[in-house]
Amino acid sequence: MAERNIAHLTATEARAELEAGTLTSLELVDACLARIAERDSDVGAWAHLNAEAARKSAQEADARRAAGKSVSPLTGIPVGIKDIIHTTDFPTEYGSSVFAGNQTSEDAFIVAQLKAAGAVLLGKTVTTELAFFGPGKTRNPRDLERTPGGSSSGSAAAVADDQVFLALGSQTAGSTIRPASYCGTVGFKPTFGYTSRTGVLPQSEPLDTLGGYARSVDDIALLFDAISAHDPADTGMAPGNRPSLVDALAEPGPKVPRFAYVRSPGWPQAEAAMKAAFDDFAGSFGARAEVVETPLPAEFDEILRLQQIVQFSDIARNYGPIADANPDAISAKLKEIIAEGRTFSSSNYAAAREEQESLYEALCAVLGNYDAILTPAATGVAPIGLASTGSPVFNGLWTYLGMPCISLPLIEIDGLPVGVQLTSARGSDAALLRVAKWMTTDKGARG
């Protein structure tokens, strides 16, 4: 009998085996480390690893469990941390030589929560340059000649390649959802303000959102239940406790869900094969779901540019001084965006911010009639080459509107993944995960 691949388990499956005593946390960590040793010279998902510290943390988790002490759902589960998130145990270099060896004195709020939950911090995953378009060393594990997407390149690739069970990412335009689509894993960006950004490299305060990667919708719930405590220091966070996503997934999902099939303003930039595959997917549900092709209101035609005005203006404000002080260490693309961001006036920025709410209100009529919007996660399969990380045109508008999004690896074109993106109203994260779980079970697309 062939030896089973422990590293390929979902986090939920791993947790169940830890609780049953059929696996130890040390075995989980060692399985991840073995996979990294086998594959990461090709994939390049990790910026920093500490195998000794990870094994020690796993042993401590095992000892706690063996002693009958209380444990949390994430106790002993290996997790990767995107290298824009501050960690005292590893350098935080933001994917830039400007910050080589940078060591922070405090953990990010979200990292402190992971530690309190007993997770094993396996290491820091590669990010693009300052979480923008400048590629890092990571390659797509499904095809090493293709981009993994960005900016959360290493996190998506590591989870997709069985190198870690869960990983943190972030999204200001499409930095969580697009890599999930390209690498063929589950990626989730919650409602704006759902998770803390204290101790995370700021790019655009009105847009920045922490996201995550996993191999199942249940895993996403497990991760976000552990990292969504309210942080008073992050004024963008919605106050109050979050309902348990794990408990929400235990509730029945919709018997016959309703989806608004939205092609969005990015549709003309999509590849023909993706368009055909997505049309086929949207038409595949039969009586199991109601899928209604739904155009966006006319005022959405300029939404991608509005998102760019906000993002690029803030990049100029936050990254401009870094580029000015280190011109030889900053990519030409980032310099170009900083220059463009500096062309927008304060009134341009204010108007783009105001449109966030008016456009969201215009969309509410659609959101109120459907369980979720069904839309592509990317323009097609991961592009060949490592010089760019692909286009966020299917992501930026939903980020701009502050809505939760999830990418599900349910379509393949010529053996390569394309994500199915679901998005819904702000604050409907639990309901979105329920319908996403429906779609990934026999009741949904596989029925």
Query: Which residue is it, tokens 């016959």?
Result: 256
Return the active site residues: 82, 151, 175
β-pair partners for 213: 167, 187
What type of residue sits at position 46?
W
**CB distance 211 to 168 below 8 Å:** yes
The span from the CA of 14 to the CA of 392, in Å, is 33
- In 3D space, the residue among 289, 222, 214, 253 whose CA is nearest the CA of residue 437 turns out to be 253
Mapping DSSP onto H, E and C, the string for the chain reads CCCCCHHHCCHHHHHHHHHHCCCCHHHHHHHHHHHHHHHHHHHCCEEEECHHHHHHHHHHHHHHHHCCCCCCCCCCCEEEEECCECCCCCCCCCCCHHHCCCCCCCCCHHHHHHHHCCCEEEEEECCCHHHCCCCCCCCECCECCECCCCCCHHHHHHHHCCCCCEEEEEECCCCCHHHHHHHCCEEEECCCCCCCCCCECCCCCCCCEEEEEECCHHHHHHHHHHCCCCCCCCCCCCCCCCCCHHHHHHCCCCCCCEEEECCCCCHHHCCHHHHHHHHHHHCCCHHHCEEEECCCCHHHHHHHHHHHHHHHHHHHHHHHHHHHHCHHHCCHHHHHHHHHHCCCCHHHHHHHHHHHHHHHHHHHHHHCCCCEEEEECCCCCCCECCCCCCCCCCCHHHHHCCCCEEEEEEEEECCEEEEEEEECCCCCHHHHHHHHHHHCCCCCCCC
